[in-house]
Amino acid sequence: MKTLRNRSDVSQGRNPDRHKRKHSWRRGSLVEVTCSCVRVCFGEMSLKGRFLKPGDDSNYAEDRSDVEPTSGTSFIFNPNRNLSLQAQRQRLPVFSLRSHILYLLENYQTVVVVGETGSGKSTQIPQYLQEAGWGQDGMICITEPRRVACTTLAERVAEECDVILGREVGYAIRFDDRTSPGMTQIKYVTEGLLVREMMADPLLRQYSVIMVDEVHERTLFTDILLGLLKKVQRKRKDLRLIVSSATVDADQLFRFFNHNATKDKTKDTAAVVSVEGRNFPVDVFYLQEAAADYVRSSVDTVLKIHTKEGPGGVLVFLTGVEEVDKCVSALREESSRLGEKGGKMQVCPLHGSLHNSDQLQAFLSPPQGVRKVVVATNLAETSITLPGIVFVVDSGFVKLRWFNGQSDALVVVPASQASANQRAGRAGRTRSGQVYRLYKEEDFATLSQATPPEMVRTNLSSAVLNLMALGIDNMLRFDFPSPPPASHLIAALDELFALGAIGEDGQLTRPLGQNMAELPLPPQLAKMLLVSGEHECSEEILSIVAMLQVQNVFIDPRGGQRHIARARQRNFQVKEGDTLTLLNVYKSYLRSGQSSKWCGRYFINFRALRRAVEIRGRMERLLMQCGVEMKSCGGNVESIRRCITAGLFPSAAFLHHSGCYHSVRSSLPLHIHPSSTLYTLPQPQWVIYHEVLHTTQAFMRDLTVIEPSWLLELAPHYYEKTQLADT
């Protein structure tokens, strides 16, 4: 197999020797994850093409819960589920610190809690607070970076409290609120939702304690929320803040929230507490030659584990929804081929685009004698803990949003060392485990220590819009945990001005700018929705935006069915682009009575369509609150395309004489993504894209064919006539 000198080559998926799939593995390390560090000790033992088989231990198995996903069910890691709920709670590592945490919260404004995922901090600390009376004068709010964490944690806590979900314990995520005003005491929310709540209640008076969980992920809204809460604490001395992290960044968090400017420690306003973890050793294996196609290598590695190793669940880390779905499809096909003699596999995808009930399938224990394989994005690193995982397959890559000063793109990059160690830790929850890294041992040392926070690498237009809606006008003076580049802030202000969200005075415009801030969407899509009434196509634009919120609408089967699928999917494709194609799919799905059989016939992702219908319904209510009249343009496709241009005009590209596309305001070469409707059609002169994906090249996705004259008409402040003439 070809030796790769540069790990970035791995993401390109090009492997001239891809038929040679017998990997050679090297035993690289033993990882022990504790509350305060990740210790890696490198060994030198070579495995010569085989896996190390650990001592068999069937204690990993858990009984399968025969329940509906909407009931009060435990989907949180729980090795003691045969015990009473009270006994289960007392077995968690955080229980020994219950009194200490409550004492610190009485005496300090902020308590920083450092503890591994699975130590119980996310489920138990809110209950300790409620039992101590903190929920009497205000709700206890817990923020999570991902909606799947909100829903599963709320499910578990409601079960432990023996209450109905949505009453005393509830959650609120984008487009879904399951709380009861005046009754709910413990409320799980996504970070972005709490930021939007501050627009109506800047001091968060309805909360007595706010727990910011999974701070180590450093999402855009994590950093915004930390800066805002620090500001609120100066006005509300009674507000208590708990900041929870699974990695050792306690000192940085302590310094950020400690308002004591003196050397007198008795005046500190923040304290730190560490929760001991309970992890078993994890053997780490590396490939002797790096894998060129990490999706195919992941499939091969899972099959080798399944046929050669003892019992235990497998967790595979891949970069995105497309890769996850490809891997799941391949594994299910291979499992069918193996038959009963090869042993059964239950393969589940897990990513943020799935419907809640579909996500929860990954948490249920498999039937006796069946090996569960969960193929996930990086949301399974720390936000959640899956039961029964013994083996981890780590592709070594992650898909991140990256802003280059002109445009935001999804980029596949090597994961950080912190990410790699978090992934390895998933294998050591219930017994000694194994992690298989699809790269060489020496490559690990070249990885960055941590993933850069979103605040310093992504488009900040959403962040700036939300902060301005909260009355924060001077972004350069806002106290960010990690200050963003000034150039990114300027680019965000420029984009918001072009969209009409802010005026020449630097203030939010009324009502457009304020309404854009209130919609839980990126500014460009929010603008597109809000002006859809003027273009008399709000019904159609609602459907398109809802479809853009889900991924992998079209199923791409393997083998002989691929040609059948593509032939049937062509029924929906139109020369005007992907957005109009998605609209056709949505309308046809509704005409079918939202039939899963119809989806199967046309190789359409039923789960994605079901989710899109839910999102559309909730967005319609929000849009009507903004005063947008619901209108349909009928068959007037031009109205839809012009409305899309009114929102996505910063993402216009033209066909360059070189044969590729160029963005109008940058010289970055762009290509039509192979999944696009336009990929096999004659190339249009002008398109607008929704996003860019960087792999081997920069690929545009979700395209709409436009006329260049619309740019001058709808965005004259952004494009000049001479600028377009030069193209």
Residue where one domain finishes, among candidates 390, 423, 444: 444
Cα separation, 142 vs 242, whole angstroms: 9
Q: What integer pLDDT is reported at residue 37 of this predicted model? A: 32
Instruction: Indicate if 92 and 239 belong to the same structural domain.
Output: yes
Q: What integer pLDDT is reported at residue 10 of this predicted model? A: 32
Mean pLDDT to the nearest integer, 351-356: 75
Statement: residue 141 has pLDDT above 90? yes
Round the average pLDDT of the chain to a whole number and report it. 85
Mean pLDDT to the nearest integer, 224-228: 95
Instruction: Indicate if 290 and 250 belong to the same structural domain.
Output: no
Torsion of CA 258, 263, 264, 265, to 10 degrees: 50
**Alpha-carbon separation of residue 219 from 222, 484, 487 (angstroms):** 5, 13, 19
Q: What integer pLDDT is reported at residue 276 of this predicted model? A: 79
Q: Which residues have CB under 8 Å from 551's CB, separation 6+?
A: 321, 322, 353, 608
Residue 249 lies in a domain: yes
Instruction: Indicate if 564 and 706 belong to the same structural domain.
Output: yes
Instruction: Indicate if 353 and 428 belong to the same structural domain.
Output: yes
Q: Which residue has the tokens 């990690």?
A: 482
Residue 503 lies in a domain: no
Statement: residue 299 has pLDDT above 80? yes
For position 297, which CATH number holds? 3.40.50.300
Residue 632 lies in a domain: yes
- Residue 344, beta-bridge partner list: 370
Residue 524 lies in a domain: yes
Q: Which of 167-171, 189-193, 403-407 is predicted least confidently?
A: 403-407
Instruction: Indicate if 249 and 366 belong to the same structural domain.
Output: no
Instruction: Indicate if 684 and 549 belong to the same structural domain.
Output: yes
Percent of the chain at pLDDT above 70? 86
Instruction: Indicate if 97 and 38 belong to the same structural domain.
Output: no
Higher pLDDT, 385 or 306: 306
Instruction: Indicate if 166 and 215 belong to the same structural domain.
Output: yes
Statement: residue 336 has pLDDT above 90? no
Domain count, the chain: 3
Residue where one domain finishes, among candidates 221, 251, 275: 275
Residue 647 lies in a domain: yes
pLDDT band at 248 (very low <50, low <70, confident <90, very high): low
Tens of pLDDT along 250-292? 888 999 999 998 989 999 999 999 987 767 889 999 999 888 8
Instruction: Indicate if 138 and 249 belong to the same structural domain.
Output: yes
Residue 455 lies in a domain: no
- What DSSP string describes 692-727? EEESSSEEEES-EE--HHHHHHH-TTT--HHHHHT-
Q: What integer pLDDT is reported at residue 25 of this predicted model? A: 64
Report how far Cα 529 is from the mean position of its chain's Cα atoms.
23
Residue 297 lies in a domain: yes
Cα separation, 112 vs 313, whole angstroms: 33
Statement: residue 6 has pLDDT above 90? no
Tens of pLDDT along 496-534? 999 999 999 989 999 999 999 999 899 999 999 999 999
Cα separation, 299 vs 301, whole angstroms: 5
> First CA to last CA across the chain, in angstroms?
45
Mean pLDDT to the nearest integer, 308-329: 92
Instruction: Indicate if 159 and 300 belong to the same structural domain.
Output: no
Q: Is 554 helix (H, G, I), strand (E, B) or coil?
A: strand
Nearest to 60 by CA among 296, 314, 286, 287: 314
Cα separation, 699 vs 496, whole angstroms: 25
Mean pLDDT to the nearest integer, 466-477: 89
User: Tokens in use for 444?
Assistant: 């690990």
Statement: residue 11 has pLDDT above 50? no
Q: What integer pLDDT is reported at residue 445 of this predicted model? A: 93
Q: What integer pLDDT is reported at residue 75 of this predicted model? A: 39
Cα separation, 488 vs 494, whole angstroms: 10
Cα separation, 412 vs 395, whole angstroms: 11
pLDDT band at 23 (very low <50, low <70, confident <90, very high): low
Highest mean pLDDT among 239-243, 356-360, 721-725: 239-243
Statement: residue 57 has pLDDT above 50? no
Tens of pLDDT along 623-638? 999 999 999 999 899 9
Neighbour-count burial for 230-244, b at 16+ CB within 10 Å, e otherwise: bbbbeeeeebbbbbb
Reading across the β-sheet that carries 661-663, which strands appear in turn?
Answer: 397-403, 408-414, 691-694, 698-701, 669-672, 661-663, 652-655, 686-688, 704-705
Q: Give the pairing type, strands 433-437 and 282-287.
A: parallel
Statement: residue 713 has pLDDT above 90? yes
E-only strand ranges, 288-432 = 313-317, 344-350, 370-376, 389-394, 397-403, 408-414
Nearest to 637 by CA among 570, 540, 555: 540
Instruction: Indicate if 47 and 92 belong to the same structural domain.
Output: no
Higher pLDDT, 100 or 334: 100
Q: Which of 361-375, 577-591, 700-714 is predicted least confidently?
A: 361-375
Higher pLDDT, 383 or 413: 413
Nearest to 587 by CA among 545, 647, 540: 540
Statement: residue 724 has pLDDT above 90? no
Mean pLDDT to the nearest integer, 678-689: 95
Mean pLDDT to the nearest integer, 449-456: 91
pLDDT band at 344 (very low <50, low <70, confident <90, very high): confident
Q: What integer pLDDT is reported at residue 408 of this predicted model? A: 77
Instruction: Indicate if 593 and 711 belong to the same structural domain.
Output: yes
CB distance 671 to 699 below 8 Å: yes
Residue ranges making up the domain that contains 251: 85-275
CB distance 364 to 420 below 8 Å: no
Tens of pLDDT along 58-107? 222 222 222 222 223 333 445 555 577 777 888 788 999 999 999 999 99
Q: What integer pLDDT is reported at residue 88 of this predicted model? A: 80
Residue 462 lies in a domain: no
User: Tokens in use for 513?
Assistant: 């700018």
Statement: residue 675 has pLDDT above 70? yes
Residue where one domain finishes, among candidates 275, 295, 320: 275
